[in-house]
Structure 1
Amino acid sequence: MTVLVWDFDGVLNANIRKGRFLWADTLYADWGIRTEALAGHLFHPDRIGRIMRGQSDLRDELQTWLSQAGHDADADAFLAYWFAKDALPDRQVLQHLHRSGMRHVIGTNNEPRRAAYIEQEMGFGALVEHIFASGRIGHAKPDSAYFNHIEAWSGAPAATHVLIDDTRRNVDAAQDQGWRGFHFTDETRANLPAFLDGLG
């Protein structure tokens, strides 16, 4: 049976447009925080790698930056705002989670706090068999260990796994692993139903 591994942000969740995270559009108006300043800290390559693999706590990193930058804001309140604003399920894509004859899981590069929000508050835990979040398993796409983890869970051959992802390097890595892949973009989204139909 095919194991369909759905990326979350940019695929099941329509929160990215041309590389821009939509939730941050009102960040300055709502909080007086400039997106580029926050991103420069949280999304520094070394820091975000640790956060996404569960080696650093997002809340702690955020609170440190808020304090250092002189913002009188509570990290928990900010995360609640962030996660709620970033919840934009793509209804058109979500309908494919009801396809029968396939095992549906989510494979996402998200740290544990947002993974829990996706699972519980957004309700995706009830829509798929399992959610593989990088912050929980200690590996992130495109690491081969990430794909190995899913294969170990499923107990199925690599060739039965399919990754649907909006990041080209993740799709390439999955295909190098022996998986099939679909690069989901604005240009290819119309081809998704036919691709899924062809999985048999």
Structure 2
Amino acid sequence: MIRAIAWDFDGVLNRCVEDGRFIWAEHFERDTGQSLAGFQRAVFAEGFREVIEGRRDLVEPVAAWCAEVGHAPGAEALIDYWFARDDTPDAEMQALVARLKAEGVPQVIATNNEARRARYIRAQTGWMAQVDAVLCSGELGVSKPSPAFFEAVSAALAVPPRECLFVDDTRANVEAARALGWQAFHFTPETRDALPGMLAGRGTAQGG
């Protein structure tokens, strides 16, 4: 039986991609007067894992880009802009998480996000009213699909992995969780409709 749930954030609880495009970036060029492709190259370069795992502050590559292109508002303002437009909760998942909370099911967000985004999720979104914690790679110092990430999440839930459900939209993360004894559900447009019914009985996960 499933006694606790760890939710991925972007792509599961946060519906941030539509038709292969990031919603936050839709009006980036109109709003900033700068190239989206140039921003993405500068910020999401090979070293971005250092940001995701907390070894480098997100503001550093963003500030470097701002200086290079002459973006006057600066890095902090641009990060605020980015995070606000990336706050696109999935209404169906909000309802599901709220229902599970009402039933007393422990739930956490387990995300590959840097610490600034985790703080934004905690302080500026409504998710903390529904989940017990936000566990992010930027604060844990390790990211999915590393076993150490799942060990940290399992410890926070205080439930054996075999009784935890991990829900993620990335297959490699789902497979890693299963290899460590978790129940896991691969969340995709094709499988998502099966999740509420499966959780109604809180039986073994079948998705993906």
TM-score by length of 2: 0.90
SS at match of 2:106: strand
Q: Alpha carbon RMSD of aligned pairs, Å? A: 1.4
1:168 Cα shift?
A: 1.1
Q: Counterparts of 1:198 and 1:50 in 2: how far apart (Å)?
A: 40
Q: Which residue identity lines up with residue 53 of structure 1 in the other structure?
A: E
1:46-195 superposed matches below 5 A: 47-98=47-98, 99=100, 100-195=103-198
Q: Counterparts of 2:140 and 2:13 in 1: how far apart (Å)?
A: 21
TM-score by length of 1: 0.93
Following TM superposition, the consecutive aligned residue runs of length 4 or more in structure 1 with deviations greater than 6 angstroms are: none
Q: Which residue identity lines up with residue 34 of structure 1 in the other structure?
A: S
Q: Which residue identity lines up with residue 197 of structure 2 in the other structure?
A: A
Q: Single out whichever of 96-105 and 126-135 deviates more from structure 2.
A: 96-105
Q: Counterparts of 1:66 and 1:170 in 2: how far apart (Å)?
A: 33
Identical positions, percent: 39
Aligned to 2:200: 197
Q: Counterparts of 2:49 and 2:201 in 1: how far apart (Å)?
A: 35
List per-residue Cα deviations over 1:106-162 (Å, max 9, x = no partner).
001111111111111113222201110111111111111100111222332110111
1:2 Cα shift?
A: 1.5
Q: Which structure 1 residue ranges, 5 or more long, are not aligned? A: none
Aligned to 1:36: 37
Q: Which residue identity lines up with residue 78 of structure 2 in the other structure?
A: F
SS at match of 1:102: coil
1:101 Cα shift?
A: 4.1
Q: Which structure 2 residue ranges, 5 or more long, are not aligned? A: 204-208
